[in-house]
Structure 1
């Protein structure tokens, strides 16, 4: 598979990888066709697992390579990593305060953003997960873009490991949108549609990432760190609190550890 990907252009590599991550979101959303309710412990464990994958990917696949790449540049290696990381968090924080959205476990009265109560619950849920998927798509695009630049710190195997990790953790995100909508009385087809729709932004964000770093190669360490900062913000602000607010704290924490470990193994073994 690695040889096959190596023969493709960076844009095609990115599209294939991001369509896989989108497909995993759709697969998670498809559970709505088999049941109307998923066990809460299972959902909290899945969210914890997703958080662990995102944390591990942020360091092993994004921040560490960014620092290594920047060390040969004109400024200390930690500067691009620190600047990009904080900008990523600020970007998601700004989006969080502007875009109307609603976390799956929240009542509509607790929706956030500008004029959230004027939007339908389905729209708010999709926007919430869409915000999560923007940094994931960027991360995949930047990873394949860094390979295209010929940077020795990047590899096709590492980029594929990141895409696989992002795809695995997208599964519960699709489920976390479709299931609440189904419980609210929406049809199975519509619940699935809105669940998978939240992942549609990933190919778009991935294309932006790969084109940005291949055209402006000096931005690569900043772009990698930006994606890492955005993902860590999502984990701290949404994923971990969401996995623990139903009382399954120990379970969610252990699955976070498992997710982190699996993503670390994927990245180190394949990267």
Structure 2
């Protein structure tokens, strides 16, 4: 099976433009980028894809063992790059895909030009002086709730993640996106996401990196953005005037401008 089919790869934008690879987060698919795509496509060649198990990916390619950690997803990113012979890619990873991008870039740094980490978190669980935003009990409760009533969990969590109560349509969209995911696949991906610890991988990044955080984000609080910035040598930290964990939906213009400015060295 080719990467184009397995990951539902779609390429749009300027044929001769610099490459941007957009990677979605947990419970989402490439449709979550649609509000930033028009602006970015004017200047860049965009590579969009669905993680296996999401969107229009080939569900027959999903294996619980392979996707029990973020390594399987990072290898998929590299497969896409190899099969399409992509070079000098600026990888834009949202949420958990930020760490997937870190893993891919550490393995094959020559494939990539830059990294954009959008609302990243290398570890969600507090650990000593490190504040990830959640206690171990919080995450255990989250995962138990997801397993026992996935649709109910989706309806409850999506508005919290989006955190734009005056724009309920955003929470509804994320709820619907969650609900389109097979609960068994969601359970495995949730554990790979919320139980991961990629703090030690950050210092291995040798690429120019932009850390994009939101002014308020309950999933990836600002102390997490500061930690990621401090751990990646020479990285840049930009705080968007946005609320919630998905600024590509809640503040698409500002998000697209920040990505484009960094990717094009403006």
Tell me the TM-score normalized by structure 1. Answer: 0.24
Higher-Rg member (1/2) = 1
Tell me the TM-score normalized by structure 2. Answer: 0.25
Instruction: Considering fraction of residues, name the structure with more strand.
Output: 2
